Structure 1
Amino acid sequence: MRAMVYRGPYRVRVEEKERPSIEHPNDAIVRVTLSAICGSDLHLYHGMMPDTRVGMTFGHEFTGVVEEIGASVQNLQRGDRVLVPFHISCGSCFFCVRELYSNCHNTNANASAVGGIYGYSHTAGGYDGAQGEYVRVPFADVGPSKIPEWMDEEDAVLLTDACPTGYFAAELGDIKEGDVVVVFGAGPVGLFAAESSWLMGAGRVIVVDHLDYRLEKAKDFAQAETINFTEHDDIVMHLKKMTDFLGADVCIDAVGCESDGSFFQVLTSSKMKLQGGSPVALNWAIDSVRKAGNVSAIGGYGPLFSAVKFGDAMNKGLTIRTNQCSVKRHWPRLFEHVRNGVLKPSEIVTHRIPLEEIAEGYHIFSSKLDNCIKPLIQPHAQAA
């Protein structure tokens, strides 16, 4: 099959690779029809995640058609159109039975941290991802779900990570009716977090970023107020002024480890292996939220040290909640919202890229070119 292959920081290319096969009776082989490049893929692309090995295929957001099933698979049949959560879950461990699927204890040898994730280094289990023509799906009766007939496939692919993660970010904020919510980051997850904040009852939603085209999207897509932090000497003080000097009720960090691939990030994360990401956005959230407020940290961080202002958080009496999103737990409500027209996830898609041009897709997305917000990858079709 043809697949994206990692060859080192900033180097990806499409190569011939052995097609995956059934390795366990619970496996399925899915022919990928749509995948996406996620902001967290850029951490891999920039060489900032430990144990990202040459030869790996990235990609954890995908839809496809079931081509083969193992002898034990009961819920799927050949030909089923499916969407698949970004995380891999066994369905029976301590965490899965509590619907904490992203914390699965049986899908990653590093079980003290995150569960298995498609295409996200050996730190997350070493599974190949879906930026190729085929992918092996373990525990096929647990993760995948059939795509409803009424659902557009571009909406479905965004329900495998970005949209549920943004929704989960708003949920973690424990938003009360009328709350002021500040979202740091206007990438796909931040956009979905801002829109979802209204669904949770927010009375005011403010999105902070430094790219004007993303802020314009936040206004249009999420009906949010926007701030370009480069236009203010002290973004925290500016937010305090906007909130009667109390601070926001809820702050959401949808940035995490910045994915720009700056020299400092590459030096400390890729070369020295010292930190899990610059915590600037998280520290802004801690400083900008009111005393006894809530901070939702959903941005992607690495597994190592980050200099978070925890003393300030403790002294302010903050509640900080964070996790990887357990996607399938949110599907019933999100499917309902999509079917009723409350959410249209595909509205954030800006680029549709053939698999053979994925290297250029990574370059465009990484360098913030051509007003790129969310690129989809089409393995078996020409891009529109």
Structure 2
Amino acid sequence: MRAMVYRGPYKVRVEEKDMPRIEHPNDAIVKVTRAAICGSDLHIYHGMMPDTRVGSTFGHEFVGVVHEVGPSVRNLRPGDRVMVPFNIYCGSCYFCARGLYSNCHNVNPNATAVGGIYGYSHTCGGYDGGQAEYVRVPFADVGPAPIPDWMDEEDAVLLTDALATGYFGAQLGDIAEGDTVVVFGAGPVGLFAAKSSWLMGAGRVIVVDHLEYRLEKARTFAHAETYNFAEHDDIVVDLKKATDHLGADVVIDAVGAEADGNLTQHITAAKLKLQGGSPVALNWAIDSVRKGGTVSVVGAYGPMFSAVKFGDAVNKGLTLRMNQCPVKRQWPRLFEHIRNGYLKPSDIVTHRIPLEHIAEGYHLFSSKLDGCIKTLIVPNNH
């Protein structure tokens, strides 16, 4: 089969690779029909995720058609259209039993924190991802679900991570009716978090970013007020002024997508951009939320070398909530919102790229060229 292969930081290409095979009775092999490049893929693309091995295939957002199933799979059969959550999980351990699918204890030998994730380095279990023609899906009776007949596969692929994570970010914020919500980051997750905040009763939603085309999307897609932090001397002061000098009720840190900068800048946090390995956005969140407020963190954080304002969070009496999204837990509500017309996830898709051109797709997305917000990958087999 053809698959995207990692060859080192900023180097990806499409190569011939062995077809995945059934390795366990509960595996399925899925023929991928749509995949996506996620903001958090940029962390591994830029070489900032430990133990990302040459030869691995990325991609944790994908949907497809079941090609083959192992002998113990009961819920799926060849030919089924399926959506696959980015979490790989067993469904029966202590954490899965409590709905913490992203913290499964049985799928990642390095699982001090996170469970398994498709295509996200050996730190997350070493599973190959879906930016390929075929992918092995473990625990096939647990994670994947049939795509409803009425749902478009381009909406379904966004439910496998970006939409579910944005919705989860709003959920963690514990939004009360009429609350003012500030979202840092206007990538796909931030856009979905802002849109979801309205569904949870927010009275006002503000999105902060530094890219004007993404802020425009936040205004049109998420109906949010917007601030370009590059145009403000002190974004925290200006957010305070905009909220009766109290601060927002809820702040969502959705800054997974800005994973740029070199190691020195990450250690010193000298590059004051929103980025995955520096706590600038997290500190802005702590500073701009009101006393007694809630900070929700769903941005993908890599190793952090510089200080988080934890003392300020303590003294302000903040609630901090965070996790990788347990995707499948969000689906029942999201299915209803999509079916009722409140959400059209694929509205944020700006680019569709053949698998063969995935290197250009990564460059486009990484460098924020051509107004790129969300890129879908279309395998050659489709």
> Structure 2 vs 1, CA of residues 338 and 112 (structure 1 numbering), >3 Å: closer, same or farther?
same
Aligned equivalents of 1:181, 1:24: Cα separation in 2: 45
* Equivalent residue, structure 2, for 1:194: 194
Secondary structure of the corresponding residue to residue 226 of structure 1: strand
Task: Give the Cα–Cα distance (whole angstroms) in 1 for the partners of residues 94 and 146 of structure 2.
Answer: 26
Give the corresponding residue for 1:180: 180
**CA contact 1:46–1:261 (8 Å) conserved in 2:** no
- Give, in whole Å, the separation in 2 of the partners of 1:71 and 1:265: 51
Q: Hey, what's the Cα distance between the residues in 1 that align with 2:337 and 2:276?
A: 35
- Cα distance in 2 for partners of 1:329, 1:253 equals 21
CA distance in 2, matches of 1:365, 1:229: 21
Opposite residue 199 of structure 2, the aligned amino acid is L
Q: CA–CA distance in 2 between the matches of 1:121 and 1:12?
A: 14
1:272 matched residue in structure 2: none
1:325 paired with 2:314, answer no
The separation in 1 between residues aligned to 2:304 and 2:266, in whole angstroms, is 14
Question: For the residues of structure 1 that align with 2:177 and 2:121, how far apart are their CA atoms?
Answer: 40
Q: Please give the residue correspondences for 1:33-48 in structure 2 after superposition, counting only pairs within 5 Å.
A: 33-48=33-48
Query: Is the 8 Å Cα contact of residues 266 and 277 (structure 2) preserved in structure 1?
Result: no
Task: Report the Cα offset of residue 380 of structure 1.
Answer: 2.5
2:231 equivalent in structure 1: 231
**Worse overlay, 306-315 or 371-380:** 306-315
Match of 2:29? 29
Q: Relative to structure 1, is the Cα distance of residues 182 and 305 closer, same or farther in structure 2, using a 3 angstrom cutoff?
A: same
* Structure 1 residues 286-301: aligned runs within 5 Å: 286-301=286-301
Distance 1:105 1:141 in 2: 17
Would you say the 8 A contact 1:257–1:277 is kept in 2? no
Aligned to 1:361: 361
Q: Is the 8 A contact 2:267 2:304 kept in 1?
A: no
Partner of 1:244: 244
Query: Which residue is 1:280 aligned to?
Result: 280
Shift of 1:256: 4.5
Q: Contact (CA 8 Å) 2:186, 2:215: kept in 1 or not?
A: yes
**Could you say if the C-alpha distance between residues 276 and 253 of structure 1 is closer, same or farther in structure 2, counting changes exceeding 3 Å?**
closer
The offset of 1:262, in angstroms, is 4.3
Q: Work out the CA distance in 1 between the residues paired with 2:341 and 2:282.
A: 32
Distance in 2, Cα, partners of 1:122 & 1:12 = 17
CA contact (8 A) 2:35 2:130 kept: yes
**Percent identity between the aligned chains?**
79
1:143-176 per-position Cα deviation (integer Å, ceiling 9, x unaligned)? 0000011000100000000000000000000000
Distance 2:264 2:14 in 1: 29
8 A Cα contact 1:257 1:278, kept in partner: no
4+ residue segments displaced more than 3 Å: 261-269, 303-306
Cα distance, 1:258 vs. partner? Answer: 3.2
2 CA distance for matches of 1:102 and 1:356? Answer: 31
Could you tell me which residue of structure 1 aligns to residue 152 of structure 2? 152
- Give the match for residue 254 of structure 1: 254
1:268 Cα offset (Å): 8.5
- Residue 6 (structure 1) aligns with: 6
Q: Which amino acid counterpart does residue 62 of structure 1 have in structure 2? A: F
Question: Which residue of structure 2 lines up, in the alignment, with residue 222 of structure 1?
Answer: 222
2:103 pairs with 1:124: no
Query: Equivalent residue for 1:20?
Result: 20
Amino acid at match of 1:231: E
* In 1, Cα distance between equivalents of 2:295 and 2:161: 21
Within 1, Cα distance between the matches of 2:73 and 2:54? 32
Q: Residues 252 and 296 of structure 1 are in contact (CA less than 8 Å); yes or no, is this contact kept in structure 2?
A: yes
Q: In 2 relative to 1, CA 240–332 (structure 1 residues): closer, same or farther, beyond 3 Å?
A: same
Q: How far did residue 292 of structure 1 move?
A: 0.5
| Structure 2: unaligned runs, 5 residues or longer | 270-274
1:141 equivalent in structure 2: 141
Superposed CA deviations along residues 66-120 of structure 1, whole A, max 9, x for unmatched, are: 0010011000000000000001010000011111111100011122210000000
Q: How many corresponding residue pairs?
A: 377
Give 3-state SS (helix, strand or coil) of 2:8's partner.
coil
Number of the residue aligned with 2:272: none
TM-score of the pair, normalised by structure 2: 0.96
Q: Describe the SS at the equivalent of 1:222.
A: coil
Q: Could you tell me how far apart the structure 2 residues matched to 1:381 and 1:76 are? A: 21
Instruction: String of CA shifts for 1:7-41, please: whole Å, max 9, x gaps.
Output: 00000000000110000001000000000000000
1:87 maps to what in 2? 87
C-alpha distance in 2 between matches for 1:69 and 1:321: 38
Q: Which amino acid aligns with 2:301?
A: Y
Matched to 2:61, the amino acid is E
* Contact 2:39 2:258 survives alignment (8 Å): no
* Kept in 2: contact 1:43–1:259 (CA 8 A): yes
